[in-house]
Amino acid sequence: MSSVEEPAPDVSAKRKPSRSLIAATPTVRTVPDRTIYKGRSDFRPKTSIPQNISAEEYAKQCCQAAINSRLSPFVLHPGEYQMLREYINHLQVTIYLNIRNGILRLWQRNPLVSVTREEAAGCAKDYRFFDVADIAYEWLIRNGYINFGCIEVPNSLSANQITSLKRKRIVVVGAGIAGLGASRQLEGLFSQFGREFGPSEGPVEIIVLEGRGRIGGRVYSHPLHDQDASKLGDDKRATADLGASIITGFDNGNPLTVLIRGQLALNYHSLHDNSLIFDSDGTVVDKTRDALTERLYNDILDRVAVFKKKPTVEKTVEGDKELIEAGKDPVGEGGRLISKIEENEVVELPPMPPSPPRSGGSPFSAEVDRLTGKPTSATGSSARVPVVEQLRKLKWEVKECVAKNATFELKPQGSDPQHPILGKTMDAVLEQYQKLTTITPLDLRLINWHYANLEYANAANVDKLSLGSWDQDDGNEFRGAHAMLIGGYTQVARGLWLSPRKLNVRTKHVVKKIKYHDGEQVRVECENGTVINADKVVVTLPLGVLKAGTVEFDPPFPEWKQGAINRLGYGLLNKIVLVFNEVFWDAGNDMFGLLRDPIGDPMKQASYEQRRGRFYLFWNCTEACGRPMLVALMAGEAALQAEAEDEESIIREVMAELSKIYPSIKLPQPVETIITRWEKDVYSRGSYSYVGPEATGDDYNLLAKPVGDSLFFAGEHTCGTHPATVHGAYISGLKVAGDVMNSLLGPIKVPSPLIPPKPKYEGVYASVAGQKRKAERSAVERARELKEARLGKYEEALKEALHEALGERPSKPFRSGANPFLLYQKDHWFRCKAKCDEARRKATGNPEDRATRNEVRAALGLMWREAPEEEKKPYLNETENNKKNNTQAVQEFKKRLQSWDEAAEKFTKEWKEKNPSIPDEEEKEAMRLAEIEVAEVKRNRKLNGFMDDSDDD
């Protein structure tokens, strides 16, 4: 192994100190996993299952934890299915899912502390299920569902391994979110599984090579010139997010929720779609007209969805939903293994619940999120409704000359019949609507505003998008409010870099060549002369860089990899940042839209293409930035125009448009302006990926697939479920770390049998009658099972009817921190811990000694008490605001809950009266036989004077 020729430079940026966890940059050791040194006999079942809540409530929390981890609570992930199909039967799937969901619950409830094997074993309800818990625990860790992020993890390395000079080296190319996430996850995986590499294998060496002089990649919070004017306080910089800026929902599985809320404790500003849209002359567009045209646009988007390509279905198996929701394990041993009967039992993996529609009673399935430009769902349901009837549902008047039975010609459009495109097909639908109803130039301007928003979502003109696969990730959207991070998105990148210890990131190391061959080390060459040999290399270069071919791969990529690179598109979005000394716009609106005039005939759709995305949307970033700031988006063709035009003319034009919107105000000139040109950035060459005309969703999987046994890939363009997003990049980093670990350790070793059979105990005095009842099935048990099944289905039908009528029961609102000391403790824990560890080592003379949690807490309490009022003030203010918000949220929740419960009680009573639960003939017969059996037992008791020991009826 050759040595690295250049030491790692300091990548730290000049910035004011932060209150977040990442500011302290402590040097701390990983937490030793004490369960490694324990025997299996020390573990106890049910120790991680709380006893102060009902089984149903525990099951509800477990199911929600699975959803918050992007997993179905009731279905095996395809990876779990492949791992377990040879070892468990269908009955045991439910046992596995209950344990897996329980482990996820432990993690989701406190992601500041890693989950240990002992805690995972405590999610099992029987000693026989410890192997199941161990397998679930390892699968969740390897695949990045638990014990990830900016925390200490259990350390399995022995003392000999820690001092060993023999170690593996992994190079990660790129210090964006994918590269940093992969590096941090690899570090954690090697800590937790290092012992499996053998007693002489030392800790892994991870080197991150970054061409820029900074970290973050396309996540870049550019510091503004005048920091003294910032209203964010001394702990955060005033920045402009030139790349990614929006967190698209914290709920239903966004892994950034764990980082931002659970570990780094970053502040954020929640966004609301309370926007106004201004016409091209500066007047406010009537909201009724806006809603009318939005319905028509959504209908167009939904109609063309009939051409969607069906996604590839992966095999998996479902557990018993009723038992999982009840928090129960199945009774019995089950039947044959899944692999023996899978041709009859395999089911499709159900999608995660889609984001809820923005309004009720919609006549179509496509609903567009204005904050991201993406539809929440589009199924093609509109195409099944007669066009005249659909127009009337949309509240559009049909022209008198149109026949009642008028039809709609819906055909794929595009220059290549084999690869139709979205934009031209939507245009064709719109042109037909123009023949059926009156669409004014204002309507066309509004519709094209939505076109521009769709081009923002895809970073490309709609004429570049595949008709069948452009939204292949549909249904994977997260829920909850969108948000901007106060102080900038780069804080996430810095958190991954610094916590819990600094990663070895080498900036200004532009990789020019990667030479790889199976069975040999990979040679990475940089433009500055640095050469590094590595066991594995993870490439997180943006798709635009891969397309440009500026990094040479020797040998060249195989055709399947290069073909996917060529087919997938890589688009462009640019921003115009305007910083002012004062706010002259409505500070209460997080954004406002601007309609654009066409070039040419205002009644022709083609006239709008060039200008519709030009300053079409303004973000109000004042809350997140700390300075009065507007950010105008340049989407579609306008993004390309921004690359070619000079800054002065662009700023002059955008200010002229703002003057139309606010004619009564003499607008101040911006004190600072920034225009992004991401296509000219040689380290990105664009913004994010999209599905080109010849591409499909499978191309994302091909880009994620390793080449040989040493070259791995990550980045938003490798995450088919969440492409073109920061969270998608981070998910890809977690996944590729697991792939690297699997390539080194091999697949998870599953013991056989995974679940040993239950021991059978029979009493000494077991009678022949008692043994017969055990051998055969008890009639009483059969009757009870039938009754429970009937009542269970009855309750399920009631729940479904109740949900359909009233929706979900209101959930208790999240309570923000109301204790200033706890907020202070979260920010200063690692800094204080490092000092306490050092003091402890000096006092004991043991270099491996560490301070206890109680010692750290006591030291933190002293720090808080002695802290000056000025330092306490932000925490006290934040606590006061949180208390007010919590009180208001609880009051509103109680009102909604009372209203829902009253309505539910009334509905339940009426529903049960209309739908009584009546036993069927099979259950009646079982009840009759049970009565006979009970009578026989009583008779035997009288004759024998005792009850059979082995009869547990």
For residue range 238-296, what is the model confidence (pLDDT) as tens digits?
999 999 999 999 999 999 999 999 999 999 999 987 779 999 999 999 999 999 999 99
Residue 120, CA atoms < 13 Å, CB-side half-sphere: 26
Q: 111-161: per-residue pLDDT in tens?
A: 999 999 999 999 999 988 999 999 999 999 999 999 999 999 988 888 778
Instruction: Give residue 321's pLDDT.
Output: 93
pLDDT, average across residues 893-908: 88
Is the pLDDT at 584 greater than 50? The verdict is yes
Is the pLDDT at 47 greater than 50? The verdict is yes
Instruction: Give residue 27's pLDDT.
Output: 32
Tokens for 229? 């004017």
Instruction: Give residue 944's pLDDT.
Output: 52
Q: Which residue has the tokens 């934040």?
A: 878
Is the pLDDT at 73 greater than 90? The verdict is yes
pLDDT, average across residues 376-398: 81
Instruction: Give residue 781's pLDDT.
Output: 80
Length of the chain: 953
Is the pLDDT at 671 greater than 90? The verdict is yes
User: What does the alpha-carbon distance between residue 243 and residue 151 come to, in Å, rounded to a whole number?
Assistant: 26
Q: Over the chain, what is the mean pLDDT?
A: 86
Residue 69: which region, alpha, beta or left (left: phi > 0; alpha: psi -120 to 50)?
Answer: alpha
Is the pLDDT at 768 greater than 60? The verdict is no
Instruction: Give residue 381's pLDDT.
Output: 73
Instruction: Give residue 663's pLDDT.
Output: 95
Greatest Cα-to-Cα distance within the chain, rounded to the nearest angstrom: 105
Q: Measuring CA to CA, how many Å separate 68 from each of 15, 147, 678, 728?
A: 34, 14, 33, 15
Confidence of residue 600 (pLDDT cuts 50, 70, 90): very high
Instruction: Give residue 139's pLDDT.
Output: 98
**In this structure, what are the phi and psi dihedrals at residue 432, rounded to the nearest 5 degrees?**
-70, -35
Three-state DSSP class for 323? helix
Instruction: Give residue 20's pLDDT.
Output: 38
Instruction: Give residue 569's pLDDT.
Output: 97
Instruction: Give residue 8's pLDDT.
Output: 36
User: What does the alpha-carbon distance between residue 517 and residue 54 come to, in Å, rounded to a whole number?
Assistant: 56
Instruction: Give residue 738's pLDDT.
Output: 97
Burial of 575 (0-12, 13-18, 19+ CB in 10 A): buried
Strand partners, 514: 524, 553
Confidence of residue 340 (pLDDT cuts 50, 70, 90): low
Instruction: Give residue 760's pLDDT.
Output: 55
pLDDT, average across residues 412-417: 92
Asked if 171 contacts 209 with a C-beta cutoff of 8 angstroms, the reply is: yes
Is the pLDDT at 7 greater than 70? The verdict is no
DSSP 339-369: HHHHHHH-EE-PPPPPPPPSSSS-SSS--B-
Is the pLDDT at 207 greater than 90? The verdict is yes
Instruction: Give residue 953's pLDDT.
Output: 39
Is the pLDDT at 355 greater than 50? The verdict is no
Q: Which residue has the tokens 């001092």?
A: 163
Is the pLDDT at 90 greater than 90? The verdict is no
pTM, full prediction: 0.77
Q: 799-825: per-residue pLDDT in tens?
A: 888 888 888 888 777 666 678 888 788
Confidence of residue 880 (pLDDT cuts 50, 70, 90): confident
Instruction: Give residue 39's pLDDT.
Output: 58
Q: 459-500: per-residue pLDDT in tens?
A: 999 999 999 999 998 888 898 889 999 999 999 999 999 999
Strands (E), 470-535: 483-485, 505-506, 511-515, 522-526, 531-534
Residues 6+ apart with CB under 8 A from 67: 73, 252, 253, 352, 353
pLDDT, average across residues 514-533: 96
Confidence of residue 860 (pLDDT cuts 50, 70, 90): confident
**In this structure, what are the phi and psi dihedrals at residue 640, rounded to the nearest 5 degrees?**
-70, -35
Instruction: Give residue 376's pLDDT.
Output: 58
Residues 6+ apart with CB under 8 A from 296: 394, 396, 433, 439, 443, 447
- Percentage of the chain exceeding pLDDT 70: 86
User: What does the alpha-carbon distance between residue 917 and residue 300 come to, in Å, rounded to a whole number?
Assistant: 45
Residue whose C-alpha is closest to residue 833's, from 71, 26, 23: 26
Strand partners, 318: 75
Three-state DSSP class for 631? strand
